[in-house]
Amino acid sequence: MNIPRQLDERSFEFLFRHHFTGLCHFATGYVKDFSIAREIVQDAFVSLWEKRESIDPEKSVRPYLSTTVRNKCLNYLRDHRKFSTDLLSLEGFNAESEYREPDRLMEAELEKRIALSIGELPEKCREIFLLSRQDNLKYQQIADKLKISIKTVETQMSKALQHMRLRLSEYLTILLFLLIGK
């Protein structure tokens, strides 16, 4: 969903109603407290409203909100540490372990979204896509196995990849973060 050319109160209310609950669950994965997560998400929407003039209206609002919520969660965790670093090191934790959990959360969310996107493909298209990507078969091998032309395989793969690009475009930042972080 893109931000309208001008984010007015009505559009903002729609965005709030459409994304608030999902973002609260996303934030809860970080801060482990739903009421704090709600506050963080509310702050993210306040930031969106305050920056409405400078946000590119051609871009989807969800990645902006997700990134804002994630950053606010990490800031909250940094500012409200319940344990000192010394205590954490005595318990066998290190600074890296604190930030691996959010990575797993992002990874799990991305994997879920990929599975949902694959599930949305038409049956034959999904079968061809999975044979290519999961079983690592070449197009000719898929065509032979399914007794269809290679052109049909190419067409179905093109449709599947286009669908996946559209459905997962919001997660490009997360995907790049996960790939760079490993």
Give the pLDDT confidence of 65-92 residue by residue, as tens digits: 888 899 888 888 888 775 445 444 444 4
* Other beta carbons within 10 Å of 174: 21
Tell me the average pLDDT across 122-134. 92
Query: What proportion of the chain, given as a percentage, has pLDDT over 70?
Result: 73
Q: Is the pLDDT of residue 62 over 90?
A: no
Per-residue pLDDT, 1: 47
Question: Quick check: 40 and 27 in contact, CB under 8 A?
Answer: yes
Contacts made by residues 177-180, CB under 8 angstroms, sequence distance 24+: 177/106, 178/103, 178/106, 178/107, 178/110
Confidence of residue 95 (pLDDT cuts 50, 70, 90): very low
pLDDT digits (tens, 9 = 90+) for 5-51: 556 788 778 888 888 888 888 888 888 888 899 999 999 888 888 88
- In the chain the domains, ranked by start, together with CATH numbers, are 1-80 (1.10.1740.10), 94-182 (1.10.10.10)
Tell me the average pLDDT across 136-154. 94
Look up residue 182 and give its two tokens.
Answer: 């490993």
Q: Is the pLDDT of residue 176 over 60?
A: no
Tell me the average pLDDT across 122-130. 93
